[in-house]
Amino acid sequence: MYKISEVVQVLHPNRAFIIDPSSLVQHIFYDSRKIVQADLGVFFALQKNRDGHGYVREAYDKGVRSFVLQTDEEQEKLFPDANFIWVDDSLDALQALAAFHRQQFSYPVIGITGSNGKTIVKEWLYQLMSPEYRIYRSPKSYNSQLGVALSLWGLSEQYTLAIIEAGISERGEMARLEDMIKPTVGLLTNIGVAHKAGFSSKEEKIAEKLLLFKDAETMIFPNSYVENIQLPYRPRKFSWGYDEGLSLEVYSVKQLNQRSTMVTLYHGGKTFAVEVPFVDKANVENAISCIALMLRFGYETGVIASRIKELQPVAMRLELKKGKRNSSIIDDSYSNDLDALQIALEFLNQQRQHARKILILSDLPGVSLADAKSLAKLKRLLGEYRLDKLILIGEVLPQLADQFDVPSISYRGTVEFLADFRSLQFENSTILLKGGREFHFEQISRLLVAKSHDTVLEINLNAMENNLNSYRQLLPKNVKLMTMVKAFSYGSGSFEIANLLQFNGVDYLTVAFADEGVDLRGAGITLPIVVMSPDENTFESIVQHQLEPEIYSFRILNTFLSFLKDRGITTYPVHIKVDTGMHRLGFMPEEVDELVAILKRDSILEIRSAFSHLASAGNEKDNAFTQQQIDLLEQFTAQLKAGIGYPFLRHIAATSGIERWPQAYFDMVRLGIGLYGIGAERQDLPLREVSTLKTNVTQIKHLPAGETVGYNRHGVLKRDSNIATIKIGYADGYDRRFGNGVGKMMVNGYLVPTIGDICMDMCMLDVTDADIAEEDEVIVYPDIKLAAESIGTIPYELLTSISQRVKRVYFYE
Ligand SMILES: *Cc1c(COP(=O)(O)O)cnc(C)c1O
């Protein structure tokens, strides 16, 4: 913990206003929604996706009294009882503070970089070396410029070893990370083959990554990556690979059985064999990286072999599953230390869709609660996140129950808990399951999670945030962002997505029909919600749930006006739709005078925005038409504004407009399909696909040539074949037109065609050329754009057709 006066010394600010030099700084805040123990932290106003300077008031209201700003507004006049520090760049300042903090510790720091495997290697080293060291490690995959700074801030005296991840995406970034991390030992993991934007070649990318090791004592790396690279640095080289003369030579890699691989190695004049409990190449490589590092730390080969054999898979993500009785379940039973608990609680805290939050927690075998600090941290965590109920399972935690500031129930074991399960209330709740392996929480999970058909649509919430931010970066600061969550969020599910968007501070949500908006309100969404197709029958629920209808014709205008008048409602927010050429809904440009005349009569309505929709923004051949639409909106809104005498937002651009028509941003844009990672024409947008439709292989048959497969005997075998039946059919939204080879799916890395007609709940794949097994996972649309094209439609239709019986699984990586 530092005093704010010490922070000032570290930061060399341009100016500082310190009202209380003894204010303590234990936490760093950069997001006003994630503030806990406000009085013990400093808020850094970063200019990231959103400008943190706009959140000073909110942070202040939550109790923060120390701020680092990079604009020189005189905030001390508004908040005279708070400390302010002004710097050129607040991210630089945060990094400087993190670097200073790191320098306070002399225990070894392992720095890990690479394109793949960083997080797995970090988590494995934690598993492998915990018996000897008290290890601090970067939370999740916090490895960016901000993430590394926050990771380092967590270092403290209680540890004896730290493992920090470093990730970069362009030139110049590693020097800044190296400056903060100053690793004692550097470790390079796998370098992907993918050619990353931001680098001109693979060598350049590797050289940049190696900068992390500049001042380390030792660098550990797979030799094949650095063969063509100059290594002018000081550190001792610990290379591994298949060649002779390396520090660690790999003699042979042999798959032992379905689950494990035997690796024979040579180091320091000695040959030894290690059984790695994985069979895929990437994880075998990750395990060898861990072995190399353990050798560097002086571990005996016997100890290494016995621990590697017990390696556990790393859960790379927190999953949010749909539970029974209107609840959601976060199932996180892999890691069970306090840092992981904190991450899971944060994720729980971000969920607003249910009224109650419940934590089911087992004893934490990795944590000694006899240690006063650990106990204090656990108490703080349980107190901070405002849980409604705490269920404690085990020998240790139940004895401490009265020390936690949350209503709790205790059980000696999972079996006792299960016996009592029926009497407990789990409805309308978000439930976090956090248990050590030996407590077998999967039994609890099975009772809580809604059962369904095995086909799932996985929604990657990180990818969605990534896409949101990619588009945000195109927008000038004053342009607002509306996101489209119509049609069940393009098939992805409503409240989970809306909740994420609300959390990420979008300005507006839009649905197609009133009931969708009502559902969102019921799930705790407080953002303004526009309803695109309101009708008279739904006015009551629109008003009751504060939804904002789109007014597109005189008929809907007049009926809504008289509805509001009868109830004495005034200044009700609405949005005026203008038809500038799409010819779907909207007032025609020449109707503006008549519209103004009606609106001027009284103030029953308040126009929040007037907008239009581009018919062909993605097509170059229609550029002139698009420009004409933009001009028409401009004229219409100018006349409307002059007529009604007050301003409102104007907007016209959807995804392709955002990509291709920056001159059409007006005051707001409406992001739809781009959010889901599809529809990008622009190559410079690093979009990621959000949803993956998955199922699995139910049965495989070996059939001779001449047999037929499926209804109508359309699938005729021209050769002896292997045919896989999988659990998805047209009732799940897999179009019948994908039958007879049109559809292609990915199984175990093989692209395989459908054969025969698609059935209602199943279909068949020709897997003759693929090496696959029953129960293997099937990715239904390996390339959704191609798939859509192959049946003459667009990805929008494929996504929105995935039926409601397909379970949606949401996760954070
Ligand atoms: C669906 C829709 C959008 C979003 O379009 P995308 O192409 O998915 O970005 C925007 N505006 C209106 C009026 C829409 O109906």
492 domain-assigned: yes
Six-digit token string for 197: 């934007």
Give the model confidence (pLDDT) of 69-96 as tens digits. Answer: 998 788 899 999 999 999 999 999 999 9
Six-digit token string for 731: 């009732």
Residue type present at position 213: F
For residue 81, the enclosing domain spans 2-90
SS3 state of residue 221: strand
Give the model confidence (pLDDT) of 354-380 as tens digits. Answer: 889 999 999 987 677 778 888 888 998
Asked if 75 and 64 count as a contact pair (C-beta separation under 8 A), the reply is no
Ligand 1 atom nearest residue 577's Cα: 13
Torsion (CA) 327, 32, 647, 634 in degrees, nearest 10 = -80
**Separation of alpha carbons 360 and 390, rounded Å:** 6
Quickly list H helices, 426-553: 442-448, 461-474, 486-490, 494-503, 514-522, 539-544
**Set 565, 701, 711, 785: catalytic member:** 711
Q: Cite the beta strand spans of 132-285 per DSSP E.
A: 135-137, 161-165, 185-188, 218-222, 236-241, 248-255, 261-267, 270-276
**Residues in CB range of 601: below 8 A, 6 or more apart:** none
Nearest protein Cα to ligand 1, atom 7:
655
DSSP state of 172: T
Most informative mutation of 513, 670, 796 for ligand 1 (most atoms within 8 A of CB): 670
CA distances, 265 to each of 179, 243, 245, 271 (Å): 34, 11, 12, 6
Give the model confidence (pLDDT) of 529-558 as tens digits. Answer: 999 999 999 999 999 999 999 999 999 999
Residue written as token pair 């709740």: 429
Do 420 and 556 sit in the same domain of this protein?
no
Ligand 1 atom nearest residue 796's Cα: 8
Question: 788: pLDDT confidence band, cut at 50, 70 and 90?
Answer: very high
Least Cα distance to 404 among 442, 437, 378 occurs for 378
Would strands 649-651 and 691-703 be described as parallel, antiparallel, or unpaired? unpaired
Domain final position from 676, 702, 735: 676
Six-digit token string for 725: 């039946």
Least Cα distance to 108 among 274, 265, 220 occurs for 220
Residue type present at position 660: R
Q: Measured at the alpha carbon of residue 608, what is the angle toward residues 605 and 610, in degrees to the nearest 5?
A: 105
Q: Is the pLDDT of residue 337 over 90?
A: no
Q: Is the pLDDT of residue 146 over 70?
A: yes
For the beta carbon of residue 529, count every other beta carbon within 10 angstroms: 23
**Residues in CB range of 797: below 8 A, 6 or more apart:** 788
**Residues in CB range of 131: below 8 A, 6 or more apart:** none
CA distances, 90 to each of 13, 37, 51, 63, 602 (Å): 10, 21, 11, 20, 49
**Separation of alpha carbons 507 and 529, rounded Å:** 9
Number of domains forming the structure of the chain: 5
Six-digit token string for 153: 């801030």
- Least confident segment among 76-85, 201-210, 689-698: 201-210
Question: 680: pLDDT confidence band, cut at 50, 70 and 90?
Answer: low
Give the model confidence (pLDDT) of 615-637 as tens digits. Answer: 999 999 999 999 999 999 999 99
Do 120 and 61 sit in the same domain of this protein?
no
Q: Is the pLDDT of residue 194 over 60?
A: no
Domain final position from 676, 710, 744: 676
The answer, yes or no, to whether any atom of ligand 1 lies below 6 A from the CB of 484, is yes
Q: Measured at the alpha carbon of residue 471, what is the angle toward residues 466 and 472, in degrees to the nearest 5?
A: 90
Question: 158: pLDDT confidence band, cut at 50, 70 and 90?
Answer: confident
Do 590 and 714 sit in the same domain of this protein?
no
Q: Is the pLDDT of residue 142 over 80?
A: yes
Distance 654 CA to ligand 1 centre (A): 5
Least Cα distance to 209 among 76, 196, 59, 660 occurs for 196
Residue type present at position 733: G
**Separation of alpha carbons 276 and 279, rounded Å:** 8
Q: Cite the beta strand spans of 210-345 per DSSP E.
A: 218-222, 236-241, 248-255, 261-267, 270-276, 318-322, 328-331
CA distances, 775 to each of 110, 452, 455, 733 (Å): 39, 16, 12, 21
Distance 670 CA to ligand 1 centre (A): 6
For residue 780, what pLDDT is reported? 96
The mean of the pLDDT values for the chain is 91
Six-digit token string for 757: 């007609």
Do 292 and 387 sit in the same domain of this protein?
no
95 domain-assigned: no
Do 289 and 200 sit in the same domain of this protein?
yes
Do 205 and 229 sit in the same domain of this protein?
yes
Q: Measured at the alpha carbon of residue 491, what is the angle toward residues 488 and 493, in degrees to the nearest 5?
A: 55
Residue type present at position 673: I
**Set 486, 577, 694, 744: catalytic member:** 486
Do 268 and 335 sit in the same domain of this protein?
no
Do 616 and 651 sit in the same domain of this protein?
yes
Q: Measured at the alpha carbon of residue 630, what is the angle toward residues 610 and 663, in degrees to the nearest 5?
A: 105
Print burial letters for 712-744: b (CB count within 10 Å at least 16), e (below 16): eeebebeeebbbbbbbbbbebbbbbebbbbebb
| H/E stretch holding 694 | strand 691-703
Nearest protein Cα to ligand 1, atom 6:
672
Question: 316: pLDDT confidence band, cut at 50, 70 and 90?
Answer: low
Quickly list H helices, 645-720: 655-660
Print burial letters for 438-471: b (CB count within 10 Å at least 16), e (below 16): ebbbeebbeebbeeeeebbbbbbbbbbbbbbebb
Question: 320: pLDDT confidence band, cut at 50, 70 and 90?
Answer: confident
97 domain-assigned: no
The dihedrals phi and psi of 291, each to the nearest 5 degrees, come to -60, -45
Distance 486 CA to ligand 1 centre (A): 9
Q: Is the pLDDT of residue 734 over 90?
A: yes
Asked if 364 and 383 count as a contact pair (C-beta separation under 8 A), the reply is no
Distance 623 CA to ligand 1 centre (A): 18
CA distances, 525 to each of 275, 511, 518, 528, 613 (Å): 51, 13, 10, 9, 25
The answer, yes or no, to whether any atom of ligand 1 lies below 6 A from the CB of 613, is yes
Do 567 and 605 sit in the same domain of this protein?
yes
Distance 479 CA to ligand 1 centre (A): 17
Do 59 and 136 sit in the same domain of this protein?
no
Asked if 658 and 648 count as a contact pair (C-beta separation under 8 A), the reply is no
Q: Is the pLDDT of residue 709 over 90?
A: yes
DSSP secondary structure string for all residues of 263-289: EEEEETTEEEEEEES--SHHHHHHHHH
**Can you give the CATH number for the domain in which 696 is found?**
2.40.37.10
Most informative mutation of 484, 501, 669, 784 for ligand 1 (most atoms within 8 A of CB): 484
For residue 32, what pLDDT is reported? 87
331 domain-assigned: yes
The answer, yes or no, to whether any atom of ligand 1 lies below 6 A from the CB of 660, is no
Question: 670: pLDDT confidence band, cut at 50, 70 and 90?
Answer: very high
**Separation of alpha carbons 91 and 99, rounded Å:** 12
Q: Is 482 among the annotated ligand-binding positions? A: no
The answer, yes or no, to whether any atom of ligand 1 lies below 6 A from the CB of 670, is yes
**Separation of alpha carbons 607 and 651, rounded Å:** 13
For residue 366, what pLDDT is reported? 66
Give the model confidence (pLDDT) of 428-477 as tens digits. Answer: 999 999 887 778 887 888 788 775 547 899 998 888 998 998 899 899 98
96 domain-assigned: no
- Is this structure's pTM higher than 0.75? no
Distance 629 CA to ligand 1 centre (A): 15
Nearest protein Cα to ligand 1, atom 13:
613
354 domain-assigned: yes
**Can you give the CATH number for the domain in which 641 is found?**
3.20.20.10
For residue 559, what pLDDT is reported? 97
For residue 336, what pLDDT is reported? 62
Ligand 1 atom nearest residue 671's Cα: 9
For residue 293, what pLDDT is reported? 97
- Checking phi first, is residue 741 left (phi over 0); if not, alpha (psi -120 to 50) or beta? left
Most informative mutation of 468, 613, 668, 784 for ligand 1 (most atoms within 8 A of CB): 613
The answer, yes or no, to whether any atom of ligand 1 lies below 6 A from the CB of 655, is yes
Give the model confidence (pLDDT) of 19-32 as tens digits. Answer: 999 999 999 999 88
Six-digit token string for 775: 């129960």
CA distances, 7 to each of 25, 56, 96, 469 (Å): 8, 19, 10, 31
Ligand 1 atom nearest residue 673's Cα: 8
Q: Is the pLDDT of residue 691 over 60?
A: yes
Distance 207 CA to ligand 1 centre (A): 43
Q: How far is CA 650 from the centre of its chain?
A: 31
**Separation of alpha carbons 353 and 495, rounded Å:** 7
Look at the alpha carbons of 302, 307, 310, 313 in this order and tell me if their dihedral is positive or negative.
Answer: negative
Ligand 1 atom nearest residue 611's Cα: 13
Asked if 155 and 317 count as a contact pair (C-beta separation under 8 A), the reply is no
Do 260 and 167 sit in the same domain of this protein?
yes
For residue 417, what pLDDT is reported? 94
The answer, yes or no, to whether any atom of ligand 1 lies below 6 A from the CB of 651, is no
Do 12 and 159 sit in the same domain of this protein?
no
Give the model confidence (pLDDT) of 559-597 as tens digits. Answer: 999 999 999 999 999 999 999 999 999 999 999 999 999
**Can you give the CATH number for the domain in which 242 is found?**
3.40.1190.10
The answer, yes or no, to whether any atom of ligand 1 lies below 6 A from the CB of 672, is yes
Domain final position from 448, 482, 503: 448
For residue 504, what pLDDT is reported? 87
Ligand 1 atom nearest residue 670's Cα: 10
Q: Is 494 exposed, middle or buried, given 0-12, 13-18 or 19+ CB atoms closer than 10 A? A: buried
681 domain-assigned: no
Q: Is the pLDDT of residue 729 over 90?
A: yes
Six-digit token string for 619: 């097509």
- Percentage of residues of the chain with pLDDT beyond 90: 67
CA distances, 771 to each of 228, 471, 697, 743 (Å): 36, 40, 13, 19
Residue type present at position 538: T
289 domain-assigned: yes
Indicate if 711 belongs to the active site: yes
Give the model confidence (pLDDT) of 33-66 as tens digits. Answer: 888 889 999 999 998 777 899 999 999 999 999 9
